[in-house]
Amino acid sequence: MKEYYTYAYMREHGTPYYIGKGKGDRAYCKNRAIKPPKNEKILFLKQNITEEEAFRHEKYMIGIFGRKDLGTGILHNRTDGGEGVSGMKHTDESKKKIGKAFRGKKLTSEHIEKVRKAQKGRVSPLRGVTISQEHREKIRKTMLGVKHTAERRKNQSLAKIGVKHTAERNAKKSALQTGKHWYNNGKINRFDYECPDGFVPGMLRRKK
């Protein structure tokens, strides 16, 4: 049904600070994170359109004016628009509230089992993705000074008991850490920075 519209909240000097989509009195709703301006500063961009059309136009307009939280523009929108929360970026205050809400809570075994079943068979979107050196450095800096509780360290140790990695995985891990690689000459393996004469890349597998 064509009962939707897109709208903009305008600043006093005439630039928009928020783009939205809705129906009925959505544009005038005050119980929201982004407070609406005076009625005369609410500009309706498109009216009498379908919800799908409203989503598309909202996303388009946010892309045109850009978001302040991403440093791309002038809008206070926290998402890229359209259906869902694509591109959402939490504020520091929001992150603290979320952390406080979950702090000290433990998932029940029933909940863990439900999550496991829901994730079964799914392929990680990060599979095959190579993490850049810049990204690795950001992760390293984020983890600096992080201290785990004795209970968490114990649980991590218990989780690793009995876990055996393949020689291939260990070789790749060593190569990433040191820059060295495995080579062989058909008889012996050698771990070095460059391939020695008479050797080829790869590691000989032990015969069982």
- Residue 109 in any domain: the answer is no
Is 28 contained in some domain? yes
For residue 24, is it within any domain?
Answer: yes
Distances (CA, A) of 208 to 62, 134, 205: 61, 41, 9
Residue type, 41: K
> Would residue 130 count as lying in a domain?
no
3: three-class secondary structure by DSSP: coil
Instruction: Kindly state whether residues 83 and 168 are assigned to the same domain.
Output: no
**What's the structural domain count of the chain?**
2
DSSP 1: -
Q: Considering the domain boundaries, does residue 132 fall inside one?
A: no
In a domain, 74, yes or no: yes
Per-residue pLDDT reduced to its tens digit, 22-71: 999 999 988 788 899 999 999 999 999 999 999 999 999 999 999 999 99
Both 1 and 88 in one domain: the answer is: yes
Which residue range(s) make up the domain with 191? 157-208
129 within some domain: no
The stretches in the chain having pLDDT less than 70 are 84-91, 94-95, 97-98, 100-102, 104-105, 119-131, 145-146, 158-178, 206-208
Does the pTM surpass 0.95? The reply is no
